[in-house]
Structure 1
Amino acid sequence: MSGDRSGRRPRGAGIRGPHSALTDFLAANNISAAEIRDSYEQRRQQAERDAAEAGDNGEGPSNAGEDDEEIEEDLQAESSAMAAERTRKRKRNQDEAIAKIKKGKAAKKASKKKSKKKGSDDESDFEDVMDMYKKAKPLPGQLENCEICDKRFTVTPYSKAGPDGGLLCTPCGKEMVKDAKSEKKLAKPVVRKGRRKIESNRLDGMTQRGPKTLQQLCIEKLAKHSEDIDELGEMPEGIMNRISEIFSKKRAMNSNTMKLFLQSDMQSIAIHEAAYLETEDYDQIFAVCPNVKRLSLRNCCQFKDSNIDYMNEKAKALEEIQLLGANLVSDDKWIELFIARGQDLKSLKVEWLDAAFGDHVVEALSTFCPNLERLKIERCKKIGPDSIDAIAHLKHLKHLTLRFYDPITREKLVHLVDSVGDNLRTLCLEHFLDNTTEPTDDVLEAIHNKCHYLSKFRFTENNECTDAGYVKLFTDWTNPPLHYIDVNSTRDLDNTNPDGPEDEPIGLGSNGFRALMAHSGSRLEFLDISSCRHISHATFTEIFDGKREYPHLREINLSFCPVVDTEIVAGVFRSCPAIKKVVTFGCFQVADVVVPRGIVLIGAPRAQDQIEQFGEVVLDYQRENEESMGHMRAMGRIVPVVG
């Protein structure tokens, strides 16, 4: 201790208690009693020498001995008090270290705050005063005591700070970091799937509730590690097709992964996304699987004439062909394919062809493929009205799907239905608009007279047929109840008059919808009436009133029908016990509807999704209070629904 510091202390100022400011100040700065004693001995000896020299000269104060005795007594009292204080501090630190390790950081802070609150006013005031004397953190390389375990250690730049501002040794620092990570992990909120992902899964038909099946988990794991799979082995055709769908959705179907789906004894091959396959990959399909009977390639943009030649040479048993986007195949190769495989070909589906497949190709198809039972031609730009006459010669057709770019006159469509309608099980006519003539119902009348075995009927994007035509179609029709009906966008296209003509609505209206449900409601499984804006609210509430039941209806699309509201959707839930999916895009009056368990409502963002009620108890309550429920509907309140 320097002489200047000792000189500022008045003589005779002893240690009066363990909580004196001087004692805590010395302890906070690591100043020991031994150092004070040594410094005092040096000054005392120097004073004795000076006194001896002064005594020899007859000088010096008379009370020098009394002062020395007083100083020595003060220092002895100071040393004993500081030693006792250090003992108490060491014991207190050990107890606190044990408590911190056992109870953790949070418990230690809480106990410390509690003890501070319960302390005396003198101690609280004393701590406030001592905040002025907080020492600076030691620099790297210096020695310091651990705040928790009081162990002496060397300070490094990586030493962790303790909860009270001190430093921690390496073991205690690691333990504190570990505890902090555990607390952070526990406090981390549960991350739910984003709404975009949920809606995407719903549109894909993935609406499974609860845990996934073992089969689904295995399929997803295969898709995630597609590049590490050597072979899939023996699998049922359904599972193989499902894996192919997932690979296609994840854009994982390439030249390497395609080999997983090829086995020498396979008779059905379906690749739903072939955009990443090369021309040589298609030849490999027929080389590995020469006995293939059913071939489906979607987005096969690299499928060329050479692949047609190789297919004609190798695939001798081919019966069903589906090619989407094969724009590099010329008209001559299509004709060669029909000549080579025409007698055995039973199904042909082509779509999105821009550069080839014209009317003369369709004529060759009708000539060389007389046994064709299924034909689907959609979005092929080079075909026109002449193809309708060629298709009319296929007398064995059972499934027909047509979608042309050019408008087709009603005379040709009537001739087509009269020619092939007797044997049809499926009839899909899409986007047949002819704005040059007045609205007419000749096509619907021909369907009513010629088609008697249909189970699926699609007649969309039409602005010629009137509501009266749909009434005549479904009234006294000898055809059995339909399972699948799609009549979306059958309406008037005059934007200046959205309600349509006053005398007779264009497209499916209220009367036509009543006739449709009266004819096929008992067996109907799928119904799409989106954009049929001429169906009134009263008609919807009459058909879906909760008393009439449609036991097989599983999916219904009510999108862009402006009158559809919460009451109508609730009526659908009550009238359709087997309903699984309801689509209501653009129905802005659907709000706060309660969706029963097991049903997916798409397009209503404010719906209370999949809330379970109390089953028959709530249902009985609804029946007993029908009048009050009707009053609530009239007031626009929430309608509780039970599935």
Structure 2
Amino acid sequence: MLTAHRSRRNAAANANNRIRGPQSALTEFLAAQGISAADIHNDYLRRQREAEQAAAAEEAQANKENESDDDGEDTVELKKRKRKEEKALNKIKQTKEFKKRKFEEQRDNGSDADDDDTIARQMMAKNKPLPGQLENCEICEKRFTVTPYSKSGPDGGLLCVKCSKELKDEEKKAQKVDKKKAPQRGRKRQTESDRMMGDVKPGAKSLIDACVRKVADVVHDIDDFGDMPDTLLDRLSQILSKKRVMSPRVLNLFLRDDVDHIDVYDCAKLETEDFERIFAHMPHLVSVNLRFAGQMKDGALLYMADKCHSLRHLQLGATNLITDMAWTEFFKARGHQLESLKVSEVQEMFSDGIVLQIVQQCTNLKRLKLRGCSHLTDISVAALSHLTKLEHLTIAIAQHLTTPDQLISLISKLGPNLKTLCLEGYDHEPERTEEEEEEGVNFHDPILDTIQQDCTQLRKLRITGGSHYTDRVFAELFTGWANPPLTHVDLSDNRWIDNNDARGPVDEPVGFSSQAFKALMQHSGSQLQQLNLHSCRHISHEALLDVFDGQKRYPELRNIDLSFVTHLDDVVMNGIFRSCPSLTKLTVFACFKARGAEIPQGVAVIGLPNATENIVIQGFMDELLAKALA
């Protein structure tokens, strides 16, 4: 038994020796080459550390590239991220909170301190809680669950359901109040239209005016006007003509047997047979007023001469299709009974021969208006001097076909009986000799001298469009004039015109200027009702202040037009309001120095952009009336 144990131990030892034999041999080989196990282990650890450091460096570089905003990067992911970010920033810039934040930044810093993108990025960084999370209400600080429909508060926080509803109700009430305060677009346009017509009465319109406007709005649904008074019919015709709705069907509403006059201010939509229908339904017409009657022809005029046996007053505008033959036949038939004749804007078919027929046949004329008759010459001007019964004369005819001598003769013969004299657009170029130029003789002086000497009953004077009349001769016209004070004066467009010399002569101002303005107001200011000095830009600021100083009174002056009188400012406007207690309409187009004057109630200021904002609500007009009565 012992022998067997020894045999097994020896066999195991021999086996171990066989196993250790190669290892000891390798160890001996490595030791001979100078290599140890410790060196191998250290080398392994070194390589492992280098690999970890390289991986960390690559990861840091990748993170740096992802976080940087390099425009040169052309990767798909970077472009996609930039697009999303830009879209989010633009969405934030459209919010009220962004505008409020930007305004506060500018107010606190005193300038455009922060860029829009910077403010938007700061707001984007403050992420709101997601739906399902809990948040405190900005107003009541109550804890609530955020939903996709949670409303933002005034300071950018979220609101609970109750506070959101209350805030929404308040916003609706504020919108209703603002809507009531701000006039509607259509209403504002109607208000400005009324102001142009001088209607500036505060409060609601009168019942009659409201009814007339309503009738005009639904005129296409009306079959008959009934027994409407003549004054309301005329008002309706004005409104409908202004709206350009005077059609043949609407015209039928004005055709009444019991009315002796017809006034249509816009006949552009009427045909030839419509004019004949007027005279067929209204044979007892005494007054006919048809404006813009471009489709009226010979047949309609001759039909009027045949049917209207009581015709006394005739006014036609733009009747360019009526021939000389028809005019001649009409004047032969009805000329002897005409008391007033007004013809305007007839460019072709109204010649000297027709004026001669007027002079021969219309011997009872008291009022004559020839405006825009471009083919009339000195023959017509000379012929008109035989109408000795004329009291009101308005002529505006071609300048190149007439001479001042005939005009002087006409004024000299008719002047003593005239109550209205209107010379529109007379601006003949003076032809003077060298001696006259050295003496300063003005070729237009005899015209105004004739008016001063022979016109002693004028109530209305209009002289427009002159660029050669001087300020001195205008002043001499109103100085020592035996004519009573004028009630209507129109001296518009009398000014120096020269692109190379805008101011004109300094020693002898050309046009209606300061000296003439003072003389006019001293002569006619006590009874003057309407004054038109449109484009008389040479009137000085001192002259305006002297006339409208707030102390002088012009009790009858109601309508003033000082458009393009560039020296008019707020001080002058306040003086006008105090010097003219009866003023109802003031036109000041292109008077850029007048912006802040307080406008009394009842005065329509036309041409001032902020006129409505400057109207005094109460007290000012009562004070003016009290001072005027005192």
TM-score by length of structure 1 reads 0.67
Q: Separation in 2 of the partners of 1:164 and 1:521?
A: 71
Counterpart AA for 1:248: S
Contact preservation (8 Å) 1:274, 1:297: yes
Larger Rg: 2
Which of 405, 411, 419 lines up with 1:417 in the alignment? 411
Structure 1 residue 266, shift from structure 2 partner: 1.3
Structure 1 residue 504, shift from structure 2 partner: 1.2
Q: Separation in 2 of the partners of 1:343 and 1:276?
A: 32
Structure 1 residue 186, shift from structure 2 partner: 4.5
Deviation readout 1:528-576 (Å, 9 max, x if unpaired): 1122122221111111111111111111111111211111111111111
Which of 559, 569, 572 lines up with 1:568 in the alignment? 572
Q: Separation in 1 of the partners of 2:621 and 2:365?
A: 52
Deviation readout 1:579-632 (Å, 9 max, x if unpaired): 111111111111211111111222222454312354499889xx9xxxxxxxxx
Contact preservation (8 Å) 2:327, 2:354: yes
Q: Separation in 1 of the partners of 2:374 and 2:252?
A: 34
Contact preservation (8 Å) 2:578, 2:624: no
Q: Separation in 2 of the partners of 1:198 and 1:612?
A: 17
Report the counterpart of residue 266 of structure 2 in structure 1: 273
Contact preservation (8 Å) 1:500, 1:534: no
Deviation readout 1:435-485 (Å, 9 max, x if unpaired): 143533111110111111111100011122212211221112111100000
Counterpart AA for 1:336: E
Counterpart AA for 2:301: I
Report the counterpart of residue 289 of structure 2 in structure 1: 296
Deviation readout 1:397-437 (Å, 9 max, x if unpaired): 11111111334322111011011111111110000111143
- The answer as to 2:429 corresponding to 1:435 is yes
Report the counterpart of residue 426 of structure 1 in structure 2: 420
Report the counterpart of residue 510 of structure 1 in structure 2: 514
Between the aligned residues of both structures, percent identity stands at 37
Summarize the Cα distance change of 1:574–1:287 in structure 2 as closer, same or farther, 3 Å threshold.
Answer: same
Contact preservation (8 Å) 1:600, 1:610: no
Counterpart AA for 2:455: C
- The answer as to 2:209 corresponding to 1:207 is no
Q: Separation in 2 of the partners of 1:375 and 1:513?
A: 29
Structure 1 residue 498, shift from structure 2 partner: 2.2
How many residue pairs get aligned? The number is 463
Q: Separation in 1 of the partners of 2:140 and 2:370?
A: 85
- The answer as to 2:231 corresponding to 1:238 is yes
- Matched residue SS, 1:284: helix
Summarize the Cα distance change of 1:420–1:114 in structure 2 as closer, same or farther, 3 Å threshold.
Answer: closer
Alignment of 1:251-266 (within 5 A): 251-266=244-259
Report the counterpart of residue 521 of structure 1 in structure 2: 525
Alignment of 1:330-369 (within 5 A): 330-369=323-362
Q: Separation in 2 of the partners of 1:436 and 1:544?
A: 35
Contact preservation (8 Å) 1:466, 1:506: yes
Structure 1 residue 384, shift from structure 2 partner: 2.3
Structure 1 residue 496, shift from structure 2 partner: 2.2
Alignment of 1:92-491 (within 5 A): 117=141, 186=176, 189-190=179-180, 191-194=182-185, 197-407=190-400, 408-437=402-431, 439=442, 440-491=444-495
Which of 533, 555, 558 lines up with 2:559 in the alignment? 555
Counterpart AA for 1:538: E
Report the counterpart of residue 27 of structure 1 in structure 2: none
Which 10-residue stretch deviates more, 584-593 or 448-457?
A: 584-593
Structure 1 portions without partners, runs of 5+: 1-111, 119-123, 137-162, 166-178, 624-643
Q: Separation in 1 of the partners of 2:357 and 2:487?
A: 34
Counterpart AA for 1:581: K
Structure 1 residue 180, shift from structure 2 partner: 12
Q: Separation in 2 of the partners of 1:115 and 1:353?
A: 75
- Matched residue SS, 2:375: coil
Counterpart AA for 2:425: H
Q: Separation in 2 of the partners of 1:483 and 1:461?
A: 21
Contact preservation (8 Å) 2:518, 2:547: yes
Q: Separation in 1 of the partners of 2:410 and 2:243?
A: 41
Report the counterpart of residue 611 of structure 1 in structure 2: 616
Summarize the Cα distance change of 1:357–1:253 in structure 2 as closer, same or farther, 3 Å threshold.
Answer: same
Report the counterpart of residue 152 of structure 2 in structure 1: none
Summarize the Cα distance change of 1:185–1:493 in structure 2 as closer, same or farther, 3 Å threshold.
Answer: closer
Structure 1 residue 364, shift from structure 2 partner: 1.0
Q: Separation in 2 of the partners of 1:585 and 1:482?
A: 25
Structure 1 residue 265, shift from structure 2 partner: 2.1
Contact preservation (8 Å) 2:202, 2:601: no
Deviation readout 1:50-88 (Å, 9 max, x if unpaired): xxxxxxxxxxxxxxxxxxxxxxxxxxxxxxxxxxxxxxx
Counterpart AA for 1:434: H
Q: CA RMSD in A?
A: 3.0
Q: Separation in 1 of the partners of 2:385 and 2:278?
A: 34
Contact preservation (8 Å) 1:601, 1:609: no
Deviation readout 1:185-241 (Å, 9 max, x if unpaired): 847733414465543332233323210110011101111111111111222221110
Alignment of 1:52-71 (within 5 A): none
Summarize the Cα distance change of 1:391–1:233 in structure 2 as closer, same or farther, 3 Å threshold.
Answer: same
Summarize the Cα distance change of 1:336–1:116 in structure 2 as closer, same or farther, 3 Å threshold.
Answer: closer
Q: Separation in 2 of the partners of 1:519 and 1:390?
A: 33
Summarize the Cα distance change of 1:380–1:583 in structure 2 as closer, same or farther, 3 Å threshold.
Answer: same
Summarize the Cα distance change of 1:618–1:519 in structure 2 as closer, same or farther, 3 Å threshold.
Answer: closer
Counterpart AA for 2:510: I
Summarize the Cα distance change of 1:324–1:617 in structure 2 as closer, same or farther, 3 Å threshold.
Answer: closer
Report the counterpart of residue 12 of structure 1 in structure 2: none
Q: Separation in 1 of the partners of 2:208 and 2:359?
A: 44
Q: Separation in 2 of the partners of 1:537 and 1:307?
A: 54
Structure 1 residue 113, shift from structure 2 partner: 5.8
Contact preservation (8 Å) 1:466, 1:504: yes
Q: Separation in 1 of the partners of 2:358 and 2:623?
A: 60
Q: Separation in 1 of the partners of 2:331 and 2:523?
A: 40
Report the counterpart of residue 99 of structure 1 in structure 2: none
Contact preservation (8 Å) 1:226, 1:252: no
Structure 1 residue 115, shift from structure 2 partner: 12
- Matched residue SS, 2:522: helix
Structure 1 residue 365, shift from structure 2 partner: 0.8
- Matched residue SS, 1:189: helix
Q: Separation in 1 of the partners of 2:518 and 2:194?
A: 33
Summarize the Cα distance change of 1:221–1:404 in structure 2 as closer, same or farther, 3 Å threshold.
Answer: same
Counterpart AA for 1:515: A
Report the counterpart of residue 7 of structure 1 in structure 2: none
Q: Separation in 1 of the partners of 2:141 and 2:174?
A: 28
- Matched residue SS, 1:343: helix
Report the counterpart of residue 81 of structure 2 in structure 1: none
Q: Separation in 2 of the partners of 1:580 and 1:619?
A: 14
